[in-house]
């Protein structure tokens, strides 16, 4: 009887934790270092998943040397639904990517949503892949 109860508990726990993590995966495929910057709106700074310190502007420098040329940012559990992408875009003042190929600065919510949706990958819609050339 105890074995059946333990098996049932194990199965329930396995199914309860099946939500994937929403991630943005940034890979630097250029010949030099690259930077991705998230600038938060002032009213979104304290509740946004991008907010990790006391700054409204968060920049990440990614080297071009493998295996350190890839960065994974987690944004909670679940899939990248339209609502989740819209919430993230609504929190951002801008998203900027700087590399030797040039700078790309996305300012409007529509630009950010379109960019993130274009880079959405996977069957479960759990990863946004940004490849910096």
Q: Over the stretch 100-114, which tens digit does the pLDDT of each residue have?
A: 989 999 999 999 999
Please list, in sequence order, all residues whose beta carbon lies within 8 angstroms of the beta carbon of residue 29, skipping any fewer than 6 positions away: 64, 69, 131, 132, 133
Query: 0.85 cut: is pTM over it?
Result: no
Strands 21-28 and 127-132: parallel
**Per-domain residue ranges for the chain?**
20-132
Q: What is the CATH number of domain 20-132?
A: 2.60.40
Mean pLDDT by 10 residues, the chain (133 residues): 71 62 92 92 67 74 90 87 92 93 94 96 86 92
Q: Over the stretch 77-94, which tens digit does the pLDDT of each residue have?
A: 888 999 999 999 998 999
Rounded CA gap, 66 and 27, in Å? Answer: 10
């Amino acid at each position: 009887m105890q074995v059946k109860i333990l098996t049932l508990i194990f199965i329930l726990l396995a199914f309860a934790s099946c939500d994937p993590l929403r991630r943005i995966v940034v890979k630097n495929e250029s010949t030099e270092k690259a930077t991705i910057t998230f600038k938060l709106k002032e009213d979104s700074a304290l509740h946004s998943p991008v907010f990790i310190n006391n700054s409204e502007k968060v920049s990440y420098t990614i080297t071009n040397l493998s295996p350190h040329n890839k960065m994974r940012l987690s944004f909670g559990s679940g899939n990248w639904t339209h609502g989740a992408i819209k919430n993230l875009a609504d929190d951002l003042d801008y998203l900027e990517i700087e590399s030797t190929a040039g700078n790309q600065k996305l300012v409007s919510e529509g630009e950010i949503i379109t960019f993130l949706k274009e880079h959405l990958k996977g069957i479960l819609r759990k990863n946004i892949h940004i490849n910096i050339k």
